Amino acid sequence: MNYPKRNLSAVYYSVICLAMICLFSAAARAQMKMHVINVGQAEAVLLEFPRHAVLIDAGGEDTFETAVQNRFRRHLLEYLDAFFARRNDLNQTLYSVVVSHPHKDHTKNLRAVFERYTVKHFIEGGGSINASGMDDVRAIRNIVAEKNIAHHRIYARDVKRPSFMRDWSAELLRDSQTEAKFLSAGRRCNDDNNASLVLRVAYQGKSFLFVGDAEIDDKEGRKLGCGGLLSRLLVEEVSFPELVDVDVLKVGHHGSKNGTSKAFLEKVTPQFAVLSAGVPATRSSGRGRFFHAWNFGHPNEIAVKLLEEHTIKTRSTLNVTTMTKPRILIENRPIDKAIYCTCWDGDLVFTVSAAGNLEAPETSN
């Protein structure tokens, strides 16, 4: 069939435009992003890969202040909605939802996530019967069984087995060029913080470490618990200490003073450190259960100083608020090392390009 010359030019132009759109779209997807979503004194981290998305925790402030709960739940879901609108190739599907440990500030909005999006894998490590978020985990177990979602309940004793989570990690490597490895998983502890799942992710030579609420030690009254998870990660026979050295550290336990240590940071040597915590100056009012950063003393000044000494990169000087103890503030404290907190910066997005470049994160504040 013979086309008029003008129409041939139009067809050729359309094909070129379509090819360029596809090329730019593919280039945009050929990268990894770490989204640290601001859910107050809680945690939710979305990992975006070329062909997958993984959500680590879906927490919210566990408080009787309904307006606060609703605000952070709404923000988490709106953030995920906007993400899937941009990444429509993922079809509203999370490859995995990982629960680091069953505390409310990590589980509170799990049900909303499972009701709103498709989930292929649910990964957890169990936990204490009376853990504050165990009801949320049990509810998800029921949903997982009803919808025939792959359910992985993983334990620290198994992580060194060659077959451990092999199929799950193989798909990420094959389709998204991403290495993902659990360095520790569920174990019996009197404090579920030290039974946190620990995940290391690497893309194009850049690495990230997620330690949940891991602590230096594990004590309950006078009884010694199962041992601090941060120390365990440095011991050859129970962990992978050679894999702890990473570029980005998601700091343990919302920046509490027992959520990091000098020995651990000397091994990790982070370029960037990231904390998920509420605004320290937000005070409680009235009666009821108020779990704000103000009540816990997060982020703690001792932890922030340690991070300053061991974080390699810098940031533009920012005046921040830290805490020495619960309800005791240090305000307008300058910081110029590459330490970021949802409490200071809002939502955070780190990007690793297809060429392996990692820059300072974008922030919403």
Q: ∠170-121-62 over CA atoms, to 5°?
A: 130
Nearest CA-CA partner of 291 in 24, 46, 43, 118: 43
Average pLDDT over the chain, rounded to an integer: 90
Query: How far is the C-alpha of 75 from the C-alpha of 123, rounded, in Å?
Result: 23
| Confidence (pLDDT) at 289 | 59
Which helix (H) or strand (E) element contains residue 46? Answer: strand 45-48
| Confidence (pLDDT) at 160 | 96
72-105 pLDDT tens trace:
999 999 999 999 999 999 999 999 999 999 999 9
Residue 24 pLDDT greater than 50, yes or no: no
Residue 161 pLDDT greater than 80, yes or no: yes
301-351 pLDDT tens trace:
999 999 999 999 999 999 999 999 998 999 999 999 999 999 999 999 999
| Confidence (pLDDT) at 10 | 53
Q: What is the DSSP letter of 102?
A: S
Q: How would residue 19 be classed by pLDDT, with cut points 50, 70 and 90?
A: very low
Residue 199 burial class via C-beta count within 10 angstroms: exposed 0-12, middle 13-18, buried 19 and up: buried
- What does each C-alpha distance from 110 to 56, 71, 291, 354, 357 come to in angstroms? 10, 15, 18, 31, 32
235-292 pLDDT tens trace:
999 999 999 999 999 999 999 999 999 999 999 999 999 999 999 887 765 554 567 8
Q: Which residues pair with 34 in a beta bridge?
A: 47, 350
Alpha helical stretches, state H, the chain = 5-29, 66-86, 104-107, 110-116, 134-147, 166-176, 229-232, 262-268, 293-296, 301-310, 342-345
Q: Phi first, then psi: what are they for 196, rounded to 5°?
A: -60, 145
Query: How far is the C-alpha of 270 from the C-alpha of 310, rounded, in Å?
Result: 7
| Confidence (pLDDT) at 107 | 97
Query: How far is the C-alpha of 294 from the C-alpha of 40, rounded, in Å?
Result: 11
Query: How far is the C-alpha of 151 from the C-alpha of 312, rounded, in Å?
Result: 38
Query: How far is the C-alpha of 326 from the C-alpha of 95, rounded, in Å?
Result: 38
Residue 298, SS3 per DSSP: coil
CATH topology of domain 31-359: Metallo-beta-lactamase; Chain A (3.60.15)
| Confidence (pLDDT) at 20 | 42
pTM metric for this prediction: 0.91
Q: How would residue 52 be classed by pLDDT, with cut points 50, 70 and 90?
A: very high
| Confidence (pLDDT) at 217 | 84
Q: How would residue 9 be classed by pLDDT, with cut points 50, 70 and 90?
A: low
